[in-house]
């Protein structure tokens, strides 16, 4: 069941006539999450942050903007077991050369999607197909998809209840250390002996599928994406990683987040410009600011000498 205003947004989405762009729905998605099954039950499921007006723009979520501000109306999942494990592994070690942290622990959840689960790549492709190829929107969405597509990501508008969680398994640093490099940990057969059934799952949902139509609320991209960066400089899009519960401090509300916490580890957020034209404009502005600042300093020195 969708919460509060998300139900209204969901109904509006159903009324949008998109019939010429069919998407193959999926019956199972995965999510790596640092919260225990008990914490998920206590929260009633996996839901977006509350307390601030929800941002329903899919690109704001994908680029990390609404995640930084804790306003995203979506919960990220993936139809790829491998991608879910990779996202967990990213937070379990400093870099590819180091061993996995033996104290690392997170959970992998198997989820039954509903028609409020939308495919990001196909939604962006829909916008590309429906937009003039000489428009800024076409260019920016194409850049976004080219740079960060291919993760088979499905986002749940408004989140989902714990009754959609089919099963879960614990991922530890030792498990990754033993089975990651061989590739065993990416196979479904490996997890067969690790899954624990969720007693709250509703079997009545067995036939449910994700949405077969694209998500339409997509604005103009910023031209850069927010990345999560560890101590060694490894980066992964913020949308694909966990992040801490929001604070009520002014700095959070003003979207001045510079560090996030995942599995008790600190990560720095950075911005990657996939729009090189925007990057050049940004660098030119910085250059002009430095020149003006230097000019102001010289004027002040001349005035002091006089």
220 and 305 share one domain: no
217 and 293 share one domain: no
208 and 298 share one domain: no
pTM check: above 0.85: no
156 and 289 share one domain: no
Question: How crowded is the C-beta side of 191, counted as CA atoms within 13 Å?
Answer: 24
252 and 305 share one domain: no
188 and 306 share one domain: no
Inter-residue contact 116 to 158 (CB < 8 Å): yes
113 and 250 share one domain: yes
Please name the residues in contact with 233: beta carbons below 8 A apart, sequence gap of 6 or more.
95
Per-block mean pLDDT, blocks of 10 residues, the chain (306 long): 54 49 92 95 91 82 69 91 93 82 95 97 91 86 82 94 99 96 96 98 98 86 62 60 40 32 53 58 62 50 48
196 and 267 share one domain: yes
What's the structural domain count of the chain? 2
CA distances from 102 to 110, 178, 190, 303 (A): 24, 11, 20, 62
122 and 47 share one domain: yes
- For 256-286, how does the pLDDT look when each residue is reduced to its tens digit (9 = 90+)? 333 344 444 555 666 656 555 655 665 666 6
Q: What is the DSSP string of 150-161?
A: -S-EEEEET-EE
157 and 300 share one domain: no
Helices (H) and strands (E) in the chain, counts: 11, 13
242 and 97 share one domain: yes
37 and 16 share one domain: yes
Please name the residues in contact with 137: beta carbons below 8 A apart, sequence gap of 6 or more.
127, 131, 220
In this structure, what are the phi and psi dihedrals at residue 124, rounded to the nearest 5 degrees?
-70, -40
| Residue 258 domain boundaries | 4-274
Residues 214 and 117: their CA atoms lie apart, in Å, by 10
């Amino acid at each position: 069941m969708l919460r509060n205003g998300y139900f209204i947004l969901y109904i509006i989405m159903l009324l949008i006539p998109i019939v010429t762009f069919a998407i193959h729905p999926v019956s199972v998605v995965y999510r790596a999450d640092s919260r225990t099954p008990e914490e998920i039950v206590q929260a009633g499921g996996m839901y977006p942050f509350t307390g601030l007006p929800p941002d329903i723009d899919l690109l704001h979520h994908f680029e990390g903007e609404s995640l930084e501000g804790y306003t995203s109306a979506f919960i990220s999942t993936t139809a790829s077991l491998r991608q879910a494990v990779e996202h967990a592994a990213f937070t379990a070690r400093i870099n590819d050369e180091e061993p996995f942290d033996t104290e690392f622990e997170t959970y992998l959840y198997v989820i039954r999607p509903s028609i409020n689960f939308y495919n990001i790549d196909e939604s962006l492709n829909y916008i590309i197909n429906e937009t003039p190829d000489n428009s800024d929107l076409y260019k920016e969405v194409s850049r976004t998809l080219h740079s960060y597509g291919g993760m088979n990501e499905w986002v749940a508008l408004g989140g989902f209840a714990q009754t959609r969680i089919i099963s879960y398994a614990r991922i530890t640093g030792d498990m990754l250390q033993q089975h990651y490099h061989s590739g065993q940990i990416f196979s479904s057969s490996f997890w067969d002996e690790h899954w624990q059934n969720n007693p709250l799952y509703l079997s009545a949902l067995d036939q449910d599928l994700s949405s077969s139509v694209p998500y339409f609320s997509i604005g103009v991209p910023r031209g850069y994406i927010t990345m999560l960066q560890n101590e060694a400089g490894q980066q992964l899009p913020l949308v694909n990683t966990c992040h801490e519960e929001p604070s009520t401090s002014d700095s959070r509300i003003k979207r001045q987040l510079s560090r996030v916490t995942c599995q008790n580890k600190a990560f720095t957020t950075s911005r990657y410009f996939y729009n090189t034209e925007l990057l050049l404009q940004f660098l030119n502005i910085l250059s002009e600011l430095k020149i003006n600042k230097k000019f102001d300093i010289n004027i002040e020195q001349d005035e002091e000498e006089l």
